[in-house]
Amino acid sequence: MSRSAEGAPDVEEDAGATRHTDATDLDASERTAATGATGPGHEDRTETHPHHAAPAVGWSTRVRQALRAPKLQYAGRTQEQIERSLLGRLQVTSIPGSRLWAWLGPALVTAFAAVLRLAYLDRPARLVFDETYYVKQAYSLLALGYEGDWNEEPDENFAAGDYSDLQTTADYVVHPSVGKWMIAAGIRLLGVDSPWGWRISAAVIGIISVFMLARIGRRLFSSTLLGCTAALFLAIDGIHIVMSRISILDIFLSFWVLAAFGALLLDRERHRRRLARAASVEIAQHGSLRDPWGPKVGVRWWLLVAGVCLGLACGVKWSGIYAVAVFGLFAVAWTISARRAVGVRLWVGAGALRDGVPAFLAMVPTAALTYVLTWLPWWLNPNSYNRQWATEVNALADVPERPWLPDWLNSWWEYHLKMWDFHNNLTSEHTYMSQPWGWLIQWRPTSFAWRSVESDAGAMDLCGAERCAGAILAVGNPIIWWGAALALVLGVWAALRRRDWRAWAILAGYLAMYVPWFAYSERTIFTFYTVAFVPFVVLALTYVIAELIGPADVPLRERRPGIWTAAVIVVLALVVSAFYWPIWSNQWVPYTFWRLHMLLPTWV
């Protein structure tokens, strides 16, 4: 990456009239900013002079040195120069390039993604896989105001426009209702008599996600080109395409987690800009930061936005709570490291208390309150499942549960206990169940639909062969996923060894939406759950693309091999996407053509 992309300061200008080159002024974080050597807990580190060997020190000395804030000298500098220097230490920079291209580039990639998600959206014209639950529950929310029970196997009737199988008896559902209300919005818009109405919400959310990722990647890598590259990878990935074309909950979970991540990055930048501004004013006026805790920076509104998004993510699926925990920890860690970078003497306490506590209050209670408010329709409708449990069941029990709670809250809590029990004891066998260890290489993808037509049933008319196949296989683009699996190794190394904050940010998505599944490996789980963190998968691959392209200040002849390698990766991903498009979108193809796509025996 270029120096500007990494937030490195302009050394000549920061040095001012009396240029200082020792570690008290331009320390390691400014000298090595081009490497992105920062992590969530540390934004700078002291390096020894290249011509002198570092003396041996004990672990206690190292700990004291690590906890000591850098002493910064800004004598003779103006407030603007001090602010620029602090922004460099905080690794915050303006993104180069045209503002028009910053919006037009993402819009073009999004338009391409829209074609891949909207074309033939009505295929197949029947409910597939878990659409049998969520589409019918969404329709029930519109018809009854709650999820009603359905007669056995009403899918054919539903697809034919017969909804008489819906009963007024409340159905026991195991996921909150946000995702189903989002599906219901599409049904309300386009009607329930067409698959377009069932699936349009998922498609639109998938399309918007591509645009969001372009803008997020642009901010993360300080490059519109790299942001659009990440969005292009997302646009052509099979997992994201399939989940945007099938109306189940996971694409909505992915959307809200990605939106929260974008808000978290915006908060990191805005908080650091305000901190640099406040600190520079005080240093320019008084020569140093008088308050050992540093300046106050005010309300962090983007964390409130992140909290709302995370609450809605939990309102789609409970797995969103892991994003609440991980993103919250990263917000606090970035806050603490920012205090140290600007020379705050008590940076740990200041970051944890002055900024960390307000950050927690802005994010976590907001997420919790948002989640609770998503249950308002359940509370307001007396016929909702388990709504009257406290008065009709618990009140008649020999030993009532939690009688000290109000009935409306007790019924709600009991429902959550039932949902928790279901999720932790779901161990029924399924043909396409998979283990998390294989998700990163798409070891066992999920088949959402499959039909085969022989020659005597008109195969020649369908696909021009003696046997035809029509499939929806939720398998990721192999170039993207296998490349990202290797890229993840580089990302872990960059996060731990170079302390690159961008690598840590990408790992946050894996930590939130992938790693927790290892605790549930005995459950019935599926590879398509990876759609919740596929944006971070493509960001990991884009990170490698950025490293291959190299810094802009390196001569082009030296960068050319990396640029060509990056171009080959992008082109191969596009070619493979075109090859797999028919089995992502339920096109009739010759059976032999379908078999060519089964690269691993576990894909069949």
* Cross-strand pairs, 474: 446
209: exposed, middle or buried (C-beta count within 10 Å: 0-12, 13-18, 19+)? buried
- Please tell me the distance from the alpha carbon of residue 421 to that of residue 434, in angstroms, as a whole number: 21
* Cross-strand pairs, 166: 150
CB 448 within 8 Å of CB 129: yes
Over residues 347-364, mean pLDDT: 89
pTM: 0.89
Specify the pLDDT at position 75: 80
Cα dist from 135 to 200, 256, 523, 545, whole Å: 11, 19, 24, 39
CB 184 within 8 Å of CB 139: yes
Least confident segment among 61-65, 107-111, 183-187, 309-313:
61-65
Least confident segment among 93-102, 111-120, 207-216, 594-603:
93-102
Single-letter code of the amino acid located at 390: A
Question: Residue 494 gets which letter from DSSP?
Answer: I
Over residues 132-148, mean pLDDT: 95
Among 158-172, 293-307, 480-494, top mean pLDDT goes to 480-494
Specify the pLDDT at position 202: 98
Specify the pLDDT at position 62: 66
Percentage of the residues of the chain whose pLDDT score is greater than 90: 69
Q: What angle do CA 523, 527, 531 make, to 5 degrees?
A: 120
Q: What is the mean pLDDT of the chain?
A: 88
Specify the pLDDT at position 32: 39
Specify the pLDDT at position 66: 67
Q: What angle do CA 480, 485, 490 make, to 5 degrees?
A: 115
More confident residue, 14 or 131: 131
Backbone angles phi, psi at 471, to 5 degrees: -135, 155
Q: What is the largest CA-CA distance in the chain?
A: 89
As a whole number of Å, the CA-based R_g of the chain is 27
- Closest of 234, 7, 221, 266 to residue 102, by C-alpha: 221
- Please tell me the distance from the alpha carbon of residue 297 to that of residue 170, in angstroms, as a whole number: 49
- Omega prior to 478 cis, within 30 of 0: no
Structure tokens that stand for 352 in this block: 């944890």
- Closest of 270, 274, 264 to residue 333, by C-alpha: 264
